[in-house]
Structure 1
Amino acid sequence: MNLALWIAAGLLAAVALVGGITKTFVPKEKLAAHSGGEWTAQAGAGFVKTLGVLELLAAVGLVLPAVLGIAPVMVPVTAVCWVLLMVGAMITHGRLGQYALVMVNLVYLALAVFIAWGRFGLEPFVG
């Protein structure tokens, strides 16, 4: 189970890293022009960049605390925060009729729930 939780955290951290870099460093107009990024047309540039920074923090929070052994409880806490972020993403994409993206967000949400459930209960990091 420990290995599965590490793999899930690594995959989710990679997703968060890519999404965070994109939202933080790609201009909002370019994001809005691509499939799946249409929601950024109605969002402020600061909001999009803030989401990007939150995703970058999530990428770090899903792995680094456990690797360094410093506050490893932040891994499941970060996973819970990711669940909240994905609920917002699912609502946003659902309102735009982007149901395929809602399903992708649901997969990411399920991974985060698995990490939170596993690290809070089944296989917590012991320090």
Structure 2
Amino acid sequence: MNTVLWILTGLLAAALLVSTSKAFVPREKIASAGPTAEWVLDFSPAALRGIAALEFLAAIGLILPAVLGIAPVLVPVTATCVALLFVGATAVRLRRGERKTVVGDLVYLAIAVFIAIGRFGPWAFTS
């Protein structure tokens, strides 16, 4: 199960890193990618940079504490915060009426919750 948790953690961290592109690409260009990306127009550029910064820090917090062995308890704490981030993403999608596109956010939410439960519980990192 430890291997499964590591794989899911790596996938979630990679998804969060890819998602940080919203800090560097103009929101109008992102929104032109399709209806699933139009949510960016609901936020100011500063808010998008803030979200991207949180996602970047989350990607780091999911991996580095365990790899370096420094405060590995931060991994499940970060996973819990990521779950809250995706609760917010799901709320935005539902508020916008994007019921079909909410599935991706729910999958990421489930992965984050699974990681948090696994790392807080039976597969916690021991120091």
TM-score, length basis structure 2: 0.95
Segments of 5+ residues of structure 2 without an aligned counterpart are none
Map 1:1-127; keep pairs closer than 5 Å.
Answer: 1-20=1-20, 22-35=21-34, 36-127=36-127
Segments of 5+ residues of structure 1 without an aligned counterpart are none
Percentage of pairs with the same residue: 53
User: 1:32 deviation in Å?
Assistant: 2.1
What one-letter code is carried by the residue in structure 1 that aligns with 2:23?
T
Quote the Cα distance in structure 2 between the aligned partners of 1:93 and 1:31: 16
TM-score, length basis structure 1: 0.95
For residues 52-101 of structure 1, the C-alpha deviation after alignment (integer angstroms, 9 at most, x for no partner) is: 01111111111111001011111101100011100110011112222232
Quote the Cα distance in structure 2 between the aligned partners of 1:92 and 1:34: 18
Paired residues in the alignment total 126
